[in-house]
Amino acid sequence: MVSVILTCWKRFENFERIIRAWMAQPKVNQIMIWDNSGTFKTDLPVSIISANRNFGSSARYALGALIRNEMAMFCDDDIIPKVGFLDQMLPHFKPNRILGVTGRIFKDDYEVAVRNQIESFNIEKPVKVDFLVGYLMMMHRNNLLGFNYSNSAKYCCELELYGKLKEQPERNIELYVIPTTLWEKLPEGDDDNALYRQPEALAEKRKIFERYWVM
């Protein structure tokens, strides 16, 4: 079974629709929400952690210690899964694998790395990558335990998480983009609240990229 961890911040127009879409996935038996606005309310059977300030997307990884299942599925508040999405993801899952729908193969320069993007819509078999965009990804909960959230990056927490896992070769962590068309990015994903649009984001990403990937 799968635990789903959702992150939200003032994007509520479609949020219950997203929650219901996850509830409709047969393998999901737990949904937890990290609400950075501290204002989201719902009668749906989910658990909500209400924050008193916007921690970005990094705080959701702390919920790895609270979920009941080994498989953790992360999703943003602008992504909706379609029927059968998990059925296409689960056959590729292993404890040492992190799975996603958008990834990048890194080169020596961060801007070049961003252009080397792999999308689940455009592939026919899994593709091994160096980075997975965090808006829709699955990993074993053990990869989350012990991550130092107090110092984690606000704008590119996945990059820091993968970097720290990279420093632990005994884990043999592999990142894969899985072929699937059974998900949709909603229009609000490109509004001004998007973390990747914030002025500090690019500098933070480049700094972490150079720390872990540039030799």
Output 189 or 136, whichever has higher pLDDT: 136
Q: Which of 12-16, 36-40, 90-94, 204-208 has the lowest mean pLDDT?
A: 204-208
HEC string of the chain equals CEEEEEEECCCCCCHHHHHHHHHCCCCEEEEEEEECCCCCCCCCCCEEEECCCCCCCHHHHHHHHCCCCCEEEEECCCEEECCCHHHHHHHHCCCCEEEECEEECCCCCHHHHHHCEEEHHHCCCCEEECEECCCEEEEEHHHCCCCCHHHCCCCCHHHHHHHHHHCCHHHCCEEEECCCCCEEECHHHHCCCCHHHCHHHHHHHHHHHHHHCCC
Mean pLDDT of the chain, nearest integer: 86
Summarize the confidence of residues 179-186 as an average pLDDT: 96
- pLDDT value at residue 215: 52
Summarize the confidence of residues 191-212 as an average pLDDT: 70
**What's the whole-model pTM score?**
0.89
Paired strand residues for 80 = 184
- Say yes or no to pLDDT of 180 above 90: yes
170 burial type by CB count under 10 A (0-12 exposed, 13-18 middle, 19+ buried): exposed
Residues 6+ positions from 87 with CB-CB distance below 8 Å: 27
Domain 2-212 fold: Spore Coat Polysaccharide Biosynthesis Protein SpsA; Chain A (3.90.550)
- Say yes or no to pLDDT of 149 above 70: no
Distances from the Cα of 136 to the Cα of 60, 77, 81, 102, 189, angstroms: 13, 10, 9, 8, 13
Reported as half-sphere exposure (CB side, CA atoms, 13 A), residue 162 has a value of 26
Residues 6+ positions from 101 with CB-CB distance below 8 Å: 119, 120, 133, 136, 137, 177, 178, 180, 183
Summarize the confidence of residues 8-18 as an average pLDDT: 90
